[in-house]
Structure 1
Amino acid sequence: MWKNLTLKNVIATVKLSLFINCSWPLPTNTIKLKVVCVALYQYLCLFLTLGLTVGLCNTVRNHLDDPIIMAKSIIIICPTMHTMCNIVFCKINSYRLRLVTYEMENFCELLNSHEEAIVRQYIDRCVHFYGGSILWLYLSAIFVITGPVTLDQPFPTNAEYPFDIYHQPMKFIIFIHQAIVCMQCASQLCTNVFIALLLWFTSVRFELLAEELRTIIDVHDLVKCIQKHQKLLKYADEVVTVVRPFALTAISLSTLALIIIGIILITQGQPLSMKIQCIGLIFSGLSEVFMYTWPAEHLIHINSEVGQAVFNTQWYKLSIAVQKSLQVIMQKTQKPIVVAIPCLMPSLSLNYYASYLSTIFSFFTTLRMVIENSQDEE
């Protein structure tokens, strides 16, 4: 099903996953009317998601004495908050997103057969995880929407409102509203796949540059590679700037959701359907963090390979001026391109993800021991 995919196919798939919220940046030549309509629609999505979030917060306020109901509400609040944050960040970074996306789509049109073969290696490596994540997000949304069929509740969520919602047509309106917001959340969470795609695309370009450095035959080719490296560093800086707020939001809200889910799973007396939902949400939360740490780790690694490729060239046969330029490239590759926010988010990598998993499971174990000890004392 996913064999022989091209970069165009991947871009089209990610763009389709963002269709519900129109989160894919518009082309630079889009007419003004369409830009205004898309902006108004995104504000409408923000308003609808905010409405459900307020209802869920009202549930938390009304049930401060029932931690399970509070936890069930907070589990849904996390993705709705994530959705609203992503919409806001897309608006704030709309110019940068448009530039980096345009360059990616333009690069896709100019691929030769050798470059396309390297790109396909990346696609084959990532397609199952990211494609499966998109599918899982939408299946999770459908599972939540159909929750009233298996759970003892009339609506997909347990949001409470300061007015009667159990009579028609209000009951139908509330159900449709919550169902729409669930699908919006699934679409907006696919923004993580889009942002990860930008990181992987940056890595692809660094690898192509390293391959080109290994096959240079004259000074003219080397000068072109030096110029490409300078442009690529600027592009990488733009991508990292775009990625940071999305990554911070994903990690923060995923951590909160995982903690709450752990409380529900450890608590006895929960129905099987609720436990299945929790397990699915745990998978979603952990995979969401992995979406960022995996390409961030690879970007650090592939940047150093460019420096190694420069070192392996026959630099000693070149002029002093060109050797100095190569030395600048090697110095720049020694400084890794990291996705991090000082004092807020450490450098994303697989080591960070391993420590993140260890911390989460240690918390679950500690929480379970505390609950078991309190039950034994009773």
Structure 2
Amino acid sequence: MMLSVTSQTALNFTEMSVYFVSSWPPTKFVNKQQKLWFNFRWWLAFTLLLLFLLPLLNGVYVHHKHPVKMINAACLSAATVQALLKMLICRAQWPRLQMLHSEMDKFIKNADDLENKYIRKYIERGYIFHGFVTSSMYLVSLVFIIEPALQSHQFPTDSVYPFRIQHEAIHIALYTQQIVALFLVAAALSVDFQVAILLWFIGIKFEILGDLCERVSTNLELDKCIIEHQRILWYADQVQRAVCFITFSAVATTTLGVVCGCLALLGNLPLAVKFRVANIVGNAATEIFIYAWPGDNIITVSQEIGWKIYNCNWLAGSPKMVKNVMSIIQRAQHPVTISISGFIPSLSLQYYTSFLSTTFSYFTTLRIILSAAG
């Protein structure tokens, strides 16, 4: 028997997975103390990640002749930069994200039978993938933390500090700071699913609208569908504005991570290191899929609205009804996409395959250059 996951459980799981980086804004009804606690968590996490990044970058420089340590430091540096960027973008988009999440929460709490049917459909489609990947992100951080105890390393990472760290109190403080920072990086990576939930919600709204469109038989029912269609388009535009730069930061840093990781896999590195790098490359490729899957779904369901309204009983309707139906069909020819002009044409599975192809092309070119230089 498959595990039954409710809509509220799915939301709570995602919200808790990003709790430590404060990317999920509180509702506008929270009191002053709750707002202060939210702001304190954000500033604390941002400061700890920044203090984590600087010695990592120093480690990349210091260990440039030690490929294993350099690769470890470089991969963690890229993940930390992405975490900081996501936190800054979510902070800047706080009012918009607050509105978007409030709209989604309100819809789920007041959903009728038809709406719950589609909510369950989407939860069953993605909850295993969502739970597995989120858990994996935290497990990878846990491996980094446990590894020093098994291999007698000084710290969980290959950071290099510009001061003496032999004093026990300083060592304990820095070790603890790195442990916390690693979990913050995992929490920041989970922001991808916060974005994905908003994208899936758009898909749910379009599918429900499509179901209603097929049942249209009067001008009044059609007018309600037109109003709902405009509301969904507006909501999708707000989501696009809120998440486009989060998506761009993820694509940019993961591209760099995949290219460098693939180069490392070709080097004469220990098998254990290659396994870790392969894991990082796999996670990077998965991260873009988290965006591409729901983005592709939005394109499909927003286009299907035209077919849904076409199947309703409109040919025998009034001239106004015919005109409105034709207007919806015409609008549906231009699907809703999540894109960044000049960088990401549209988030879709086609873009995802193109991303993988282009990234490995960069890798091949860089490999040829390095081989020629060697």
TMscore range, shorter length: over 0.9
Alignment of 1:160-179 (within 5 A): 160-179=160-179
Partner residue in 2 for 1:333: 332
User: Is it true that 1:351 corresponds to 2:350 in the alignment?
Assistant: yes
Alignment of 1:153-232 (within 5 A): 153-232=153-232
After superposition, the C-alpha distances for 1:75-133 in whole angstroms (9 at most, x for unaligned) are 00111111111110111100110011001000001112232122212111111211111
Partner amino acid, structure 1, of 2:309: V
After superposition, the C-alpha distances for 1:202-229 in whole angstroms (9 at most, x for unaligned) are 0010000000111223322221111111
SS of the residue aligned with 2:24?
coil
Take 1:2 and 1:255, find their aligned partners in 2: how far apart are those partners? 36
Question: After alignment, is 277-286 or 324-333 more displaced?
Answer: 324-333
Partner amino acid, structure 2, of 1:275: K
Partner residue in 2 for 1:342: 341
- On the 8 A contact 2:254/2:284 being kept in 1, the answer is yes
- On the 8 A contact 2:58/2:161 being kept in 1, the answer is yes
What is the Cα deviation at residue 369 of structure 1? 6.7
Alignment of 1:121-132 (within 5 A): 121-132=121-132
- On the 8 A contact 2:23/2:91 being kept in 1, the answer is no
- On the 8 A contact 1:3/1:124 being kept in 2, the answer is no
Partner amino acid, structure 1, of 2:219: V
- On the 8 A contact 2:82/2:253 being kept in 1, the answer is yes
SS of the residue aligned with 2:173?
helix
Question: After alignment, is 206-215 or 219-228 more displaced?
Answer: 219-228
For structure 1, which runs of at least 5 residues remain unmatched after alignment? none
- On the 8 A contact 1:266/1:368 being kept in 2, the answer is no
Partner residue in 2 for 1:85: 85
What is the Cα deviation at residue 167 of structure 1? 2.5
Partner residue in 1 for 2:109: 109
Partner amino acid, structure 2, of 1:288: E
Question: After alignment, is 141-150 or 229-238 more displaced?
Answer: 141-150
Partner residue in 2 for 1:120: 120
What is the Cα deviation at residue 324 of structure 1? 2.3
After superposition, the C-alpha distances for 1:37-93 in whole angstroms (9 at most, x for unaligned) are 211220111111001111111122334444543322110011111111111011110
Partner residue in 2 for 1:281: 280
Take 1:68 and 1:260, find their aligned partners in 2: how far apart are those partners? 12
Take 1:216 and 1:5, find their aligned partners in 2: how far apart are those partners? 32
Partner amino acid, structure 2, of 1:325: N
Partner residue in 2 for 1:28: 28
SS of the residue aligned with 2:338?
coil
SS of the residue aligned with 1:317?
coil
Partner residue in 2 for 1:293: 292
What is the Cα deviation at residue 374 of structure 1? 7.9
Take 1:269 and 1:85, find their aligned partners in 2: how far apart are those partners? 31
Q: 1:91 to 1:374 in 2, by over 3 A?
A: closer
- On the 8 A contact 1:199/1:299 being kept in 2, the answer is yes
Q: 1:282 to 1:45 in 2, by over 3 A?
A: same
SS of the residue aligned with 1:344?
coil
SS of the residue aligned with 2:168?
coil
Partner residue in 1 for 2:239: 239
What is the Cα deviation at residue 363 of structure 1? 4.6
- On the 8 A contact 1:155/1:175 being kept in 2, the answer is yes
SS of the residue aligned with 1:338?
coil
Partner amino acid, structure 2, of 1:32: K
TM norm structure 1: 0.93
SS of the residue aligned with 1:316?
coil
What is the Cα deviation at residue 328 of structure 1? 2.3
- On the 8 A contact 2:59/2:159 being kept in 1, the answer is yes
Alignment of 1:43-122 (within 5 A): 43-122=43-122
Take 1:168 and 1:207, find their aligned partners in 2: how far apart are those partners? 59
Alpha-carbon RMSD? 2.0
Take 2:338 and 2:348, find their aligned partners in 1: how far apart are those partners? 9
SS of the residue aligned with 1:348?
coil
- On the 8 A contact 1:26/1:98 being kept in 2, the answer is yes
User: Is it true that 1:141 corresponds to 2:154 in the alignment?
Assistant: no
Question: After alignment, is 128-137 or 365-374 more displaced?
Answer: 365-374
SS of the residue aligned with 2:119?
helix
Take 1:46 and 1:2, find their aligned partners in 2: how far apart are those partners? 39
For structure 2, which runs of at least 5 residues remain unmatched after alignment? none
What is the Cα deviation at residue 336 of structure 1? 1.7
After superposition, the C-alpha distances for 1:206-258 in whole angstroms (9 at most, x for unaligned) are 00000011122332222111111111110110011112111111111111111
- On the 8 A contact 1:2/1:127 being kept in 2, the answer is no
Partner amino acid, structure 2, of 1:254: T
Take 2:269 and 2:281, find their aligned partners in 1: how far apart are those partners? 19
Partner amino acid, structure 1, of 2:278: I
What is the Cα deviation at residue 193 of structure 1? 0.4
SS of the residue aligned with 1:135?
helix
What is the Cα deviation at residue 33 of structure 1? 2.7
Number of residue-to-residue matches in the alignment: 374
What is the Cα deviation at residue 371 of structure 1? 6.8
Identity of matched residues, %: 28
Alignment of 1:311-330 (within 5 A): 311-330=310-329
